[in-house]
Every structure is written in C-alpha cells, then in structure tokens.
Amino acid sequence: MGRKEENIARVQALMADLKHVRNIGTAAHIDHGKTTLSDSLLAGAGLISEELAGTQLALDYDEQEQARGITINAVNASMVHEVEGTQYLINLIDTPGHVDFGGDVTRAMRALDGVILVVCAVEGVMPQTETVIRQAMKEAVRPVLFINKVDRLINELKVSPEEMQKRFVRIISEVNDRIKKYAPEGFRNDWQVNVEKGTVGFGSAFNKWATSVPWMKRKGISFKEIYESCKSGTQKELAKKSPIHEVLLDMSVKHHPDPPTAQKYRIPKIWHGDVESPVAKAMLAADPNGPIALMVNKIIVDPHAGEVAIGRLYSGTIERGKEVYISGMGGRSYHVALVAVAVGADRMPVDKVLAGNMAAVSGLRDAISGSTVSSDAAMDSFEPIVHYSEPVVTVAIEAKHTRDLPRLIEVLRSISKADPSIVVEINNETGEHLISGMGELHLEITQYRIVNEQKVEINTSPPIVVYRESVPNPSPTYFEGKSPNKHNKFYVEVEPLEQPIVDAIKAGDIPAGKAIKDKKAMALKFQEFGWGKDQAKGVVWIQDTNIMLDMTKSIQNLHETMELCKDAFIEACNRGPLASEKTMALKVKLVDAKLHEDSIHRGPGQVIPAMRSAIYGSMVTAGTVLMEPYQKVFINVPNDVMGSAAREIQTRRGEIIDMKSEGEITTIDSICPVAEMFGFASAIRSATQGRALWSTENAGFRPVPRDLQPTVVKKIRERKGLKPDPPTADYYAG
C-alpha cells in the first residue's frame, strides 16, 4: 500500500469521529506563502517528500499555476495529523491570493470552519489580507494567524530582536482590528488572535520551521535561539526541532472548532430554512444519519470522470448509487456515480463520506458552484455565496473554425459552472460570445484553458471594460410609457438608491434576484434604513443593486400585470438606455398606471415595452450617467524609483491617496480606473526596472468624467451595433 492509499485508509477510519475532524484553509495576500505552507503541511503528513516541500507546490498542480508561480484554484487535500497520541483528520483547502481569483476564496470559505491567515513578516497586512479576513468573517470561519518569512526580516532587513517584536505586535494588532470590524456578533472578542494563548505562530514556510509561545514553553526553545538560528544559517536544524506542520496543525487542532461545534453557529448564518425541519436539526448536529445536505463549493471538469462536484457535507452520508436532488433543477433526481476524497490533483475513491467532511462526487451533471444537493427534494437552498467584487473586464471570443462552435458553447457552459465569477453571454445567432471576469489575468487563464485544455481554437477581442448605468439625481417628474396599442400607460419615477442599502444588497443582507418570501420582515428591514412604511411595503423585486417599488393606490387589474412589469424592470436593469450596459443603484417607482380592462389587450407584447419605456424615459430625464470600475492600486517600491511609479499612476487618470516611507521602501496607495490599467504590469516593471511589488483590489464604480462620457458612450454603442447617439426622452414618450 502506497503513502497516499495508506493516508486514504486512515482518512476513512477517522471520518465518523467528528470530534477529531478539522475543516481548515489557508488564506492570504498574494505571495505571502500559502501554497509553500500547504506543501510543508502535506510533507509533514507524509503525502509528499520533505525535500520537495516548498518547491513542489503540490497544490499548484495546474500548468498555469506552475508557469506563473501563483495559486489560481482553491484545492482540497485530506490528511491525518497526530497530537499527543490522538489522530485527527485535517481537511485542508489552499486558496488563491490574487485579487482576480477572490471568488474561489469566498466559495472555499463556505466549506471551512477554521482558517490559517498567512501574513508576510516583511510586507505586513496588505489589501488582500483584509479582503480574506472579511470573507472568513462573513462565513463565520474562525481565524488563527501565521506570520511567515520571519527569516527574511533577520537576514535581508537586518532587523534587531526588539524591532522584530515591534513589527509582530503591529501585524497582530492590525489583524485583530480587522477581525473585530468584520467578525459575527458574539465572536468579536473570542476570535481575536493572541500570542500567549497560542493562536499566533511565527516561522518560515520555505525553510519548514515555525513556533508559537506554547510550543516554545513546551520544547524549551527560546526566542533568542530562533533569532540566532536564522542569522547563522542553521534553519535546517531548527526545522527538525520545531517542524512547521506540527506547530501549525497542533494550533489548528487546539483552536479551530470540530464540525458539530462549528455547525451550531454557522448553519443559521449560511442557511435560512425552517429551523424545525429534519434537515435543519441534522445539520446543526452534523448528523450522518440525517438527510443529505451537501453545499458544492467547486466544480472540476475531469477528462475521464466528467464534472466532479466538490463540497462540504453538512448532514447525512453520501455514497455511490444514492438518489439526490439539486436545487433549482425542478425536482429532477440524480444518482451519485462515484464518491472520493481529494488530495491535490488526485481523487481517491472511497465507499462513503459522512457529515462534517469534504466530498468529491461525480454524477451531479447539473450542479454548479454554489448548488445545494440533498436527498430531500424540498430542502431550502443554502444562502447564495456573496462575492466581494464583480466582473469588470470582458472579452469577445468566437470559434476559429465554424465546426468548433457547438463544442465552444459546451466548454463555455462548463467554465461558468466551475467558476461563477466568470460571466458568460452566449449569442447563438452571431457566434460571438462574451466572457467577463475579475481582471485581465482571470480572462487570460480562462482563454488558456479553452485553447490548451479543451482544445478549441478561438479568436479573441482585446479586453473591454464593463460599465454600469445609473442616475445622479431623482427624475424631475414621473415619465409616461405607453403600450404599442396605446391602451395601457405606466407612470414611473427613478432616483438613486441609498448607498447603505446598496451595501446591504452587496453584502447579502438584503437578498437580490429571488422572490420575497416574508414581505413584512423585508418591509421592516427597509424601515431600519429610514424608509417610510408605504415605500418599505412597496418592494416588488430586487435585481442586482436595483429595486422596483409599487407606489400605486388601488389600480384595477394591476396585480395580475405586475409580473410583466417586473420582467420589464429586469430587462431595463440588464440593458440601460445610455449604452445598453447594466444599471446599478437605481430605485424605480411605479407611481400610477392605466390599464385596459380586457386582459387580451395587456399581454407581454403590450405591458413590457410600455413599462420599459417608462423606466428608460425617467432615467433619461434624470440625466443617466455612465459608471466605470475602479481599482485600488498598492505599490511597494524603492525610494529612488518612487517618482517613476507615481507618474505611472498619474498618467492613467489615477489619484494618489497616500504615500508612506519605511527605510528604503515607499508604499504608494492609489486608485485608478480599470479602463486605464491595461498593460500596467509591463509598464510598471519598465518604469521601476522591475523593482516594484504591486497589487490591486476592486474599488467599486465611479461616474465617468463628464467631458469623457460622450466619447466613451459613442464607442460602446458603435461596438454593440447601436446608433452612435443615445435616444432622447422624446423617443421613449412614444
């Protein structure tokens, strides 16, 4: 029996003993050492060789990950770790740090109970560190902290022991500030990381050593000894005395919760169904005998097994042949073809997986990332996973050879299943398809997979920025939209939606895109934001960050026409009047209507165009603005080339928010429009002789400058085959 087979046998034996199971992940800013750390943990469990750990990057098994030296996919690995004679099953997910792959981090967090936050001792807390803390807190995942690359502080920056401790205190304090800011109610103090309690580790993932205060006390290792070991180049000996996998996995076993403990407080946050139902009780107890409740957090397309759904099993036992249902598939049943446990690129088939563990399942053809899979057809779905950024860059792609068109459509569908952060629009008529992603790199990787992994040759357009449309002010009065037969009239006002409500929708506190189950509870929520009773009761539908309200009084037949009004609202949200881009932060109020008494004269062909025209006309009279996406850009650069880096930002319509110097290095904190960021990577390398370290974070949308708007709108409209000038209000008055 090989190492991996032996590991799987031990994994299966431990699955049922949930007190000895931990579902954990690593998360950090890009290049802070997560995957090197995961390698060292796998080596400690005997799954890869100790010599190769840190260079093998077993969890970066994708060709592009190895070529670019970054993690692109969140990857699962199950292993066994022993603490004081007791064996524990550790289900680990290594997550990406690059901002373009933040969607993978959010989806991974849904499957975890604990996370090891990795922070580089040299760079400290960075923008993506804050983002991953926010993602973990949103999903109620308990953190511990590992300060990595301590050896670099000593050997490269020549920091004294006193300065080093000051730096550690600052990192811990900054991490705790963010935990306090985002942690769920009741956990803000309990989840603070603390050196004395042992929830903070220090070390070098590359050199395979780590330590913590409890470990130093137990093993009799002093801080001075560690400092001297780094300075004198004897880190190999240190790794034998203080191996990283023992220190960090011991920390995880002691401070991260087991599945039954975690599910008691996590289930009410991630699932809002009937708390008295059998599935709710089974999930709260992580009961292997309850109904199956699996939340899919990843889809892998395997050339042999087809689509494999990987997810967290919150209740029940999943085994081959079991009949299950997938949320949103109309009650259709599926049979589980194969059940496996994942270790990086390998999946080892097992007889069954029990509640509280991670499972890789094939046979669920219609599952996507985010699907709820259950043996109970009526089970309420898990809450949608809320992503902290949205696609801001698009490319148009088409099959190079017409014969490949059906295959390309199939490939695009499977890509959007596996990565919901990629938005795919398929145009069967023109053969052109749009894929939108989080950034240039995200789209480059997707195109690489289509060509090299799926073997479909494609032509691609240069990247295009995704814009949004909104209004800066309320419309001066209502706008009348008439149906083509002139028998139905709708009167609409629009105004900007209040920012706190937009933020609440983005955070998932106000659900968008689904029917409102409890109208009273929803109305109370809006009243908390300062809305009056009538307005709060009038919410009909929430689409993205746009809300439609019915503010009419006793209009005959409106109730049976409201569904068509909603359809018109959704159409208007998906294609605004200015440049046929999606709308954002819009409050649409239906204030009056005149309807034909005979239902035959108020069908979809009459109501939808009338309501849509009323919305468009109202937006035009309010002065529609085009909104463009921005990114925060953080640059670490030596002082002597700081001026060149700052100029590079300023020539891209960027704004420098802050500049801080520490020793030889300056940190530039800035904000730039995404439209100006294409080619930034090579430009900043050239401007700084390759000496700049930089990262980005999405920063929402801002209005396009007034003097630029007509030119940008014209370009978008021409690209989409529309007339160069947008219609005036008269056009919509009919």
Looking up residue 81, the CATH number of its domain turns out to be: 3.40.50.300
The one-letter amino acid at 437: G
Weakest mean pLDDT among 153-167, 295-309, 435-449: 435-449
Summarised one tens digit per residue, pLDDT across range 457-506 is: 888 888 888 899 999 999 999 999 999 999 999 999 999 999 999 988 88
Q: Distance between CA atoms of 328 and 372, rounded to whole angstroms?
A: 9
The reply to whether 720 falls in a domain is: no
Question: Do 500 and 442 belong together in one domain?
Answer: no
What CATH number is given to the structural domain containing 431?
Answer: 3.30.70.870
The reply to whether 90 falls in a domain is: yes
The reply to whether 39 falls in a domain is: yes
The reply to whether 485 falls in a domain is: yes
Question: Do 656 and 634 belong together in one domain?
Answer: yes
Name 447's Cβ contacts closer than 8 Å, sequence gap at least 6.
395, 397, 458, 460
Tokens 């009239």 belong to residue: 489
Question: Do 271 and 240 belong together in one domain?
Answer: no
Residue 69 pLDDT: 37
Question: Do 478 and 594 belong together in one domain?
Answer: yes
What CATH number is given to the structural domain containing 529?
Answer: 3.30.230.10
**End position of a domain, from candidates 196, 225, 257:** 257
Name 105's Cβ contacts closer than 8 Å, sequence gap at least 6.
27, 74, 95, 96, 131, 132, 135
**Mean pLDDT, rounded, for 546-554:** 93
Instruction: For residue 580, give the DSSP letter.
Output: S
Reduced 3-state DSSP string for 380-417: CCCCCCCCCCCCCEEEEEEECCHHHHHHHHHHHHHHHH
Q: Is the Cβ–Cβ distance between 648 and 656 less than 8 Å?
A: no
Q: Distance between CA atoms of 620 and 612, rounded to whole angstroms?
A: 12
Which of 582, 524, 604 is closest to 701 using CA atoms?
Answer: 582
Question: Do 548 and 477 belong together in one domain?
Answer: yes
Other CB atoms within a 10 A radius of the CB of residue 434 amount to 17
Name 237's Cβ contacts closer than 8 Å, sequence gap at least 6.
229
Checking if the pLDDT of 387 tops 90, the result is no
- Give percent of the chain with pLDDT exceeding 90: 42
Question: Do 117 and 24 belong together in one domain?
Answer: yes
**Mean pLDDT, rounded, for 564-569:** 95
What are the DSSP E strand ranges found in 468-618?
Answer: 468-470, 479-482, 489-496, 539-543, 546-550, 586-594
Summarised one tens digit per residue, pLDDT across range 587-623 is: 999 999 999 988 888 899 999 999 999 999 999 999 9
What are the DSSP E strand ranges found in 157-292?
Answer: 200-204, 209-211
Of 238 and 199, the structure prediction assigns the larger pLDDT to: 199
Checking if the pLDDT of 41 tops 60, the result is yes
Residue 519 pLDDT: 86
Could you tell me the maximum CA-CA distance found in the chain, to the nearest angstrom? Answer: 90
The token pair at 231 is 């300075």
Residue 231: band (very low, low, confident or very high) from pLDDT cuts 50, 70, 90: confident
Residue 389 pLDDT: 59
**Mean pLDDT, rounded, for 632-650:** 87
**Mean pLDDT, rounded, for 702-708:** 94
The reply to whether 142 falls in a domain is: yes
Residue 286: phi and psi, rounded to 5, are 50, 50
Of 287 and 407, the structure prediction assigns the larger pLDDT to: 287
Question: Do 322 and 362 belong together in one domain?
Answer: yes
Beta-bridge partners for 625: 470
SS3 content of the chain, % helix, strand, coil (to 5): 35, 25, 35
Q: Distance between CA atoms of 540 and 514, rounded to whole angstroms?
A: 10
* Burial class of 27 by CB neighbour count within 10 A (0 to 12, 13 to 18, 19+): buried
User: What does pLDDT average to over the chain?
Assistant: 84
Checking if the pLDDT of 76 tops 80, the result is no
Question: Do 541 and 657 belong together in one domain?
Answer: no
Weakest mean pLDDT among 178-182, 450-454, 531-535, 644-648: 450-454
Summarised one tens digit per residue, pLDDT across range 257-283 is: 999 999 999 999 889 888 899 999 999
The reply to whether 731 falls in a domain is: no
Question: Do 189 and 307 belong together in one domain?
Answer: no
Of 491 and 385, the structure prediction assigns the larger pLDDT to: 491
**Which H/E stretch holds residue 503?**
helix 499-506
Which of 132, 190, 199, 195 is closest to 169 using CA atoms?
Answer: 195
Q: Distance between CA atoms of 156 and 592, rounded to whole angstroms?
A: 71
Classified as helix, coil or strand, 123 is: coil
Checking if the pLDDT of 58 tops 70, the result is no
What CATH number is given to the structural domain containing 322?
Answer: 2.40.30.10
Other CB atoms within a 10 A radius of the CB of residue 195 amount to 17
Tokens 């110097």 belong to residue: 661
Domain range for 210 is: 3-257
The pTM of this model reads 0.70
Question: Do 630 and 613 belong together in one domain?
Answer: no
**End position of a domain, from candidates 415, 444, 466:** 466
The reply to whether 480 falls in a domain is: yes
Question: Do 342 and 418 belong together in one domain?
Answer: no
Q: Distance between CA atoms of 73 and 65, rounded to whole angstroms?
A: 8
The total number of structural domains in the chain stands at 5
Q: Distance between CA atoms of 24 and 92, rounded to whole angstroms?
A: 5
In order of 5, 302, 478, 511, the CA distances from 593 in angstroms are 69, 54, 11, 27
Classified as helix, coil or strand, 643 is: helix
Q: Is the Cβ–Cβ distance between 163 and 122 less than 8 Å?
A: no
Q: Which residue intervals of 139-207 are DSSP H helices?
A: 150-155, 161-182
Q: Distance between CA atoms of 252 and 135, rounded to whole angstroms?
A: 19
Beta-bridge partners for 550: 590
The reply to whether 88 falls in a domain is: yes
Question: Do 612 and 643 belong together in one domain?
Answer: no
**Mean pLDDT, rounded, for 92-106:** 59
Summarised one tens digit per residue, pLDDT across range 203-227 is: 998 888 899 999 999 888 888 888 8
**Which H/E stretch holds residue 635?**
strand 625-638
The counts of H helices and E strands in the chain are 24, 32
Classified as helix, coil or strand, 17 is: coil
Q: Distance between CA atoms of 277 and 315, rounded to whole angstroms?
A: 13
Checking if the pLDDT of 649 tops 60, the result is yes
The one-letter amino acid at 340: A
Residue 355 pLDDT: 94
Radius of gyration of the chain from its Cα atoms, rounded to whole angstroms = 27
Length of the chain (residues): 734
The token pair at 289 is 């005998």
Checking if the pLDDT of 10 tops 80, the result is no
Checking if the pLDDT of 100 tops 70, the result is no
